[in-house]
């Protein structure tokens, strides 16, 4: 299994949640859960992807999800969103619950 640092994981989760809401009108977590996750993003923390670190530092806004429209990998966000949504339907569980248990 590929190990991903916790900050990278948080950034992916917040980006996919914003994408699901903004692009698909499909909130995969509550507003309170999104807000807590967004507030936990540490823009001063480096990850293994300096290009995305810089993009997040310049574009991420924790109080909204509109920033996701400028994300450099919208196709990747959509791929993760569709995968989560597909697996949640197959297992008949909400996407957020699947997200919490899937490594």
- Position 102 scores a pLDDT of 43
Q: How many CB atoms lie within 10 A of CB 58?
A: 10
- Position 89 scores a pLDDT of 53
Burial of 17-26, coded b for 16+ CB within 10 Å and e otherwise, reads bbbbbbeeee
* Cβ atoms of 81 and 66 closer than 8 Å: no
What is the value of pTM for the model shown? 0.82
- Position 87 scores a pLDDT of 65
pLDDT tens sequence across 59-102: 999 999 999 999 999 999 999 999 888 765 555 545 554 454 44
Return mean pLDDT, the chain.
85
All structural domains of the chain with their residue ranges: 6-101
Bigger pLDDT: 37 vs 88? 37
* Cβ atoms of 77 and 71 closer than 8 Å: yes
Q: Which residue has the tokens 């989560």?
A: 84
């Amino acid at each position: 299994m590929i190990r991903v640092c916790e900050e990278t994981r948080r950034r992916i989760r917040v980006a996919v949640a914003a994408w699901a809401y903004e692009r698909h009108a499909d909130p995969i977590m509550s507003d309170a859960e999104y807000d807590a996750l967004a507030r936990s993003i540490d823009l001063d923390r480096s990850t293994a992807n300096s290009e995305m670190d810089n993009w997040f530092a310049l574009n991420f806004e924790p109080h909204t999800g509109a920033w996701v429209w400028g994300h450099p990998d919208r196709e990747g966000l959509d791929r993760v969103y569709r995968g989560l949504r597909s697996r949640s339907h197959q297992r008949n569980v909400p996407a957020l619950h699947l997200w919490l248990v899937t490594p």
